[in-house]
Chains A and B, each alone.
Chain A
Amino acid sequence: MSSATAEVHTTHHHAVADKTQLAPEKSLLGLTRPDRHTGWIDWVTTVDHKKIGIMYGGFALLFFIIGGIEALMIRLQLSVPQNDLITAQLYNQFFTMHGTTMIFLGVMPLSAAFFNFLVPLQIGARDVAFPRLNTFSLWTFVAGAFVLNISWLFQFAHTVGWFGQGLVHTDMAPSGGWFGYAPLTGDKYTGIGTDFWIVGLQILGVASLAASFNFIVTILNMRAPGMTMMRLPVFTWMTLVTSFLIIFAFPAITIALAELMFDRYFGSNFFRTENGGQPILWQHLFWVFGHPEVYILVLPAMGIVSEILPTFSKKPLFGYPIIVFSGAVIGFLGFAVWSHHMFTTGLGKVATAAFSLLTMAIAVPTGVKIFNWMGTLWGGRIKFTVPMVFSLGFIWMFMLGGFTGIMHSSAPADAQQQDSYFVVAHFHYVLLGGVLLGLLAGLYFWVPKIFGRMLNQKLGYWTAFLVIAGFNITFFPMHYLGLTGMPRRTHTYLGDMGWNLWNLVATIGAFILGIGVLLCFVNIVYTVFKGKKCDADPWGGRTLEWSTPTPVPAYNFAATPIVQARDCFWVHKHGDKKIEYMPDDGHGIHMPSQSWFPLLCGFGFAFFGVSMAMMGAGVPYAGYCAIAGLSAVFLGVYLWALEGPGGYHLEPPHEEGADKPHDAPASHAAH
């Protein structure tokens, strides 16, 4: 709970069982707090980490589909040589948007969905440290996603002749790659597509930073009594490391984007070669962010897998302290290897050797984790539930991706692989085979807790099969394609290079993968509304979130748990240390008040983003609109600071045992 709230409690009444029973209360600004509502007002003003998590997840799944369609367009274009399905510029836009969408609008928000829903539950807290900041992160993310994707609308409008006919550059959607190398993304070579990209990413950066600050404070400061750092679930640990990575990596891209923005809008010379700007500076600044970013993507998935493997092996995680430590080391070393993306840029012998060695070094803690996961499985009573299948797939596929990563770490070898499809194969193995499988595992594992309904397991197995098979069919051939010289980011290829067959195979694989993913999403959507209900602990969970009832009440825990061991819920069920609870002090449970202002900030950012791109297009008064948008953001923040944290009290139900964990033996598997 946020601190410094005492002074406004003088106006509070008795605790209520349900917040719709609250009397309307005015904030310190004299405006009515949106605390009592249900329906859409409740959702857009909520500060409840669980609802925020669900919304993050919903948006993430939407953008996975959009990113997936972009990918299928790429594969369709490349299915046959010299295809003219789409123009080169459109192709560039598709691969740019596919990458940007998948990373920033797909994986990161889905991870955020898990962080949001699970972390407070796993540490025994009622919410995050700064609930309104959490809401701010969500709506700012939505604004950034909006700004990025509205560019497609402008591209369409341009193509049909409604917009921007007089502009020199005809790209309205980003086309410079997800890494946006300057000076290609300077004003000489690209148009407002790049403006959308720059501003969209900046907004997304703000969202990520805010969320990360929030989670670090939450994890460090709001753990239940007895929940020491070394008793934290590994997922929470990985959330902590990821959050640190975000707060230290994002400033680099913020600056890089700001410098590029100054170049484009105000004519500065950061990347303007004719005045001395150095393109390589962009590459350095971007990858100083970009490399930690890929660890930001993968560590949460590793955390998820570290929860699932013990659960379905019925064994504690092997080498917990080592896994935690390895995660931290990966995070730290992740800042030291960025130039391995630049081995072919002429860094010089010393730099190349240094980064090469450090990259090899970072494989060590990763390998340690894999060994520990194997150790977890070894000797366990393994149950091949859907989450377990995905997790096992993760270990295997991520390892393959890791092997090709090690191959890249050798600079001479990388000289051949750089900018070829070998790299595409590598990172799709780690991202799809690693991150996606991990996230899907998490979905199948935790959807029962989030929605109280079990995902259809049969569909789940089919999804796993189609996704794993499909993605292997798509990306395994790319290793060969890359080593025989097929370059990346080219919209077509000649028919006599020997690449035709495997490109076609890859396209077919992509569609299989797409079907698998679609099946998964159909499963989720159906389940959320009509799925089979399940009990609070369908898997025999080990950690605190499974000890809550399903659906999880607004206040998470009726009484704060006192933790006595690692995997405390498992120990509570099967061991000798029961979870005890803090005594009820009769005041009810203090809940944070909801707020409109984070939403206002989101609108402000969206308005700002689109205005900036319009300014790039020469639309009159767009600059003033941009300023207005930013002012709305500042106003939102200011008012939110002034309205005061507020708060109200909820009375948990008093039936004996209703909010306490089951004492039942290890639960049967669902379905």
Chain B
Amino acid sequence: MPSANPPLDDQLLEEIHADQNTNTGIENKKLIMWLFLASDCMFFGTLISTHLIYRKLYPFGHPEEGAVNITGTFDIELTSFSTFILLMSSFLMALAVSSMHKGAIQSFRNYTFGVIIFGLIFLAGQVYEFQHFYHGQGWYDWKVSSNAGQVIVGNEKNKLLFHDVANTAAAKEGFGHEQFGLELLSFTPAEGADLAHPPITFKYEVELPDEVGNAPETFYGEYIYNPTDPHASQVVVLSEIPPPPVIEEAKEAPKEEASDDTAKADSGGKTDASEKAETTEEAEAPAEASETKDVTAAQEQTEAAEEHVAESTEHTEAPNEHATEKHTEDTHNEAHPHTHTPAPTSMAEVTKAAKETFKHSNYGFELNEFKQVQVVPGLDLKTSVFGSTFYVMTGTHGTHVAIGVLWLFSMLVYSYSGRLTPRHAVDVEIAGLYWHFVDIVWIVIFTVVYLVEYI
């Protein structure tokens, strides 16, 4: 094993100079690296030419307009940031090489570490950028309502919640999984909730984020959780926003909403609402529900809200409801076979499980409308020429950066183990040449691919 950091004496200097005893006075490694870079110029030049040719042929990035929205897709702030990062990494690399030339190993290590970090930041930026480009952007109008009649409508401000997905189905899915932007503020067992006497009632508070428009901020109510069949749990909304409609209308309203719930079939949580909607016998159900509700606090609101509950707890069904109920159960059985969870052993466990299913029920809300109003199409290798040239070009560049990072990392490691010493300044120099080349290619790509689109 070579000695770590040999003394900086004349003999070392002589050995280093001996490498330059070539006909041209240039070390072999340095010469081959410059030749490689000259060849790589042609390599990237061809790629960039392909891109330029297709840009010239198709001003829209594709033969047909609409497949691509280039300036809409690009995020010039991020890319500019990445450019500065790479530029600074280049600076640090020059300093690393410089340090090695004067034998300052620790400085070399510090600067190389800096280059690696900046390189990784650049790569992370590329990955992030590509993800966003790929998903495109969509702005959506949406309407969410609860069976209690509360309605939340998407507006200018909260459209932003789903701006990063250009695909309506995917955005809708994501929206659902984000519980329509609602947040659970608190979820606690109600007084007198008893593990031994299921179902267990929890009290909850659900909030809308600040930016959301015309609906008040907080909803609260109860969640009656059935540990043995969580999907049969029910939500009781107690907060009055807007004022609850008349009882009779409320009974009809859920049925109408059933037909709107096309998105619910595969989401277990949402079947609670459909189950609620299916029931025709509200009269019986509230009676049964009220048994459990007797245990809860806020009696007045409970009375008022009783009518709003549409439920389908298995063991409370009247025989003639079986037809519709069964259908509901069957549909939700297909999606979610009865999960007979083992008997909970602690309130904490039950709370956790209940919270999960409550979340999946979207806190009792359902999605009525979801419509795309504006889109920047996702940029994809397959759907447009611009996508093809863009990803292959920047991907090739990114691969070069990644290889550079690996190389520098190896050098950093070996500078600690003693394999890389000032004797090997030329090895550091050629890594530096490679890194700087990668930077100048980025300079060209940034200008020619990103900046010119904005002119």
Contact A275 B62 (CB under 8 A): yes
Chain A residues positioned under 8 Å from B24 (CB to CB): 220-221
Chain B residues positioned under 8 Å from A285 (CB to CB): 46, 50
Chain A residues positioned under 8 Å from B387 (CB to CB): 268-269
A-B contact count (CB 8 A): 129
CB distance from A198 to the nearest CB of B (A): 15
| Interface membership of A266, Cβ < 8 A | yes
Chain A residues positioned under 8 Å from B50 (CB to CB): 255, 259, 270, 281, 285
| Interface membership of B255, Cβ < 8 A | no
With contact pairs A2-B28, A6-B423, A220-B24 given, residues A251 and B385 touching in the complex (Cβ less than 8 Å): no
| Interface membership of A209, Cβ < 8 A | yes
State which of A12-20, A211-219, A486-494 sits at the interface with chain B. A211-219
Residue in A4, A250, A255 whose CB lies within 8 Å of B19: A4
Contact A248 B42 (CB under 8 A): yes
Q: How far is the CA of A276 from the CA of B22 in the complex (A)?
A: 51
Residue in B26, B35, B39, B388 whose CB lies within 8 Å of A268: B388
Chain A residues positioned under 8 Å from B39 (CB to CB): 209, 213, 247-248, 250-251
Contact B382 A251 (CB under 8 A): no
Q: How far is the CA of A276 from the CA of B2 in the complex (A)?
A: 58
Contact A276 B423 (CB under 8 A): no
0 or 1 for each of B222-254: is its CB under 8 Å from A? (1 = yes): 000000000000000000000000000000000
Contact A222 B2 (CB under 8 A): no
Residue in B35, B40, B58, B426 whose CB lies within 8 Å of A276: B58
In the complex, residue of chain A having the shortest beta-carbon distance to the beta carbon of B391: A268
In the complex, residue of chain B having the shortest beta-carbon distance to the beta carbon of A30: B1
CB distance from B420 to the nearest CB of A (A): 11
Please report which residues of chain A, range 178-224, place their CB below 8 angstroms from some CB of chain B when the two chains form the complex.
Answer: 209, 213-214, 216-217, 220-223
CB distance from B325 to the nearest CB of A (A): 46
Q: How far is the CA of A6 from the CA of B6 in the complex (A)?
A: 13
Contact A275 B385 (CB under 8 A): yes
Chain A residues positioned under 8 Å from B18 (CB to CB): 3, 6
Chain A residues positioned under 8 Å from B78 (CB to CB): none
With contact pairs A4-B19, A4-B29 given, residues A217 and B35 touching in the complex (Cβ less than 8 Å): yes
Residue in A217, A259, A263, A269 whose CB lies within 8 Å of B32: A217
Please report which residues of chain A, range 240-299, place their CB below 8 angstroms from some CB of chain B when the two chains form the complex.
Answer: 247-252, 254-256, 258-259, 262-263, 266-270, 275-278, 281, 285, 288
With contact pairs A130-B28, A251-B42, A276-B57 given, residues A4 and B36 touching in the complex (Cβ less than 8 Å): no
| Interface membership of B38, Cβ < 8 A | yes
Please report which residues of chain B, range 381-402, place their CB below 8 angstroms from some CB of chain A when the two chains form the complex.
Answer: 381-385, 387-389, 391-392, 396
| Interface membership of B47, Cβ < 8 A | yes
Interface size bracket, A side: 35 or more
| Interface membership of A90, Cβ < 8 A | no
Chain A residues positioned under 8 Å from B384 (CB to CB): 269, 275-276
Residue in A7, A223, A254, A269 whose CB lies within 8 Å of B382: A269
| Interface membership of A129, Cβ < 8 A | yes
In the complex, residue of chain A having the shortest beta-carbon distance to the beta carbon of B6: A7
| Interface membership of A361, Cβ < 8 A | no
Q: By the criterion of a CB under 8 Å from any partner CB, how many residues of chain B are at the interface? A: 48
Q: How far is the CA of A130 from the CA of B35 in the complex (A)?
A: 14
In the complex, residue of chain A having the shortest beta-carbon distance to the beta carbon of B48: A255
With contact pairs A4-B424, A4-B426, A213-B32 given, residues A288 and B382 touching in the complex (Cβ less than 8 Å): no
Residue in A8, A255, A269 whose CB lies within 8 Å of B43: A255
Q: How far is the CA of A278 from the CA of B185 in the complex (A)?
A: 57
| Interface membership of A28, Cβ < 8 A | yes
In the complex, residue of chain A having the shortest beta-carbon distance to the beta carbon of B46: A255
Residue in A130, A217, A251, A275 whose CB lies within 8 Å of B63: A275
Contact A223 B32 (CB under 8 A): no
0 or 1 for each of A1-43: is its CB under 8 Å from B? (1 = yes): 0111011100000000000000000001000000000000000
Q: How far is the CA of A255 from the CA of B41 in the complex (A)?
A: 12
With contact pairs A8-B2, A221-B24 given, residues A248 and B38 touching in the complex (Cβ less than 8 Å): yes
In the complex, residue of chain B having the shortest beta-carbon distance to the beta carbon of A263: B388
| Interface membership of B287, Cβ < 8 A | no
Contact B423 A251 (CB under 8 A): no
0 or 1 for each of B47-76: is its CB under 8 Å from A? (1 = yes): 100100110011000110000000000000
CB distance from B27 to the nearest CB of A (A): 6
CB distance from A280 to the nearest CB of B (A): 10
CB distance from A229 to the nearest CB of B (A): 9
Contact B26 A221 (CB under 8 A): yes
CB distance from B362 to the nearest CB of A (A): 36
Chain A residues positioned under 8 Å from B317 (CB to CB): none
CB distance from B376 to the nearest CB of A (A): 19
Contact B43 A129 (CB under 8 A): no
For B24, B28, B63, B419, which residue has the most chain A Cβ atoms within 10 angstroms?
B28
Chain A residues positioned under 8 Å from B38 (CB to CB): 247-248
The 3 closest A-B pairs by CB, nearest first: A251-B43, A268-B388, A221-B22
Q: List 26 A-B contacts (CB under 8 A).
A: A3-B19, A7-B423, A130-B28, A209-B39, A214-B32, A216-B31, A217-B31, A220-B22, A220-B31, A221-B22, A221-B24, A251-B42, A255-B43, A259-B50, A262-B381, A263-B388, A266-B381, A268-B382, A268-B388, A269-B381, A269-B385, A270-B385, A275-B383, A276-B385, A277-B385, A278-B57
Which B positions have Cβ atoms within 8 angstroms of A? 1-2, 15, 18-19, 22-24, 26-29, 31-32, 35-36, 38-40, 42-43, 45-47, 50, 53-54, 57-58, 62-63, 381-385, 387-389, 391-392, 396, 410, 419, 423-424, 426-427
Which A positions have Cβ atoms within 8 angstroms of B? 2-4, 6-8, 28, 129-130, 209, 213-214, 216-217, 220-223, 247-252, 254-256, 258-259, 262-263, 266-270, 275-278, 281, 285, 288, 638
Additional 7 contacts, C-beta under 8 A, given A217-B35, A247-B42: A3-B426, A209-B39, A214-B32, A252-B42, A255-B43, A267-B381, A267-B382
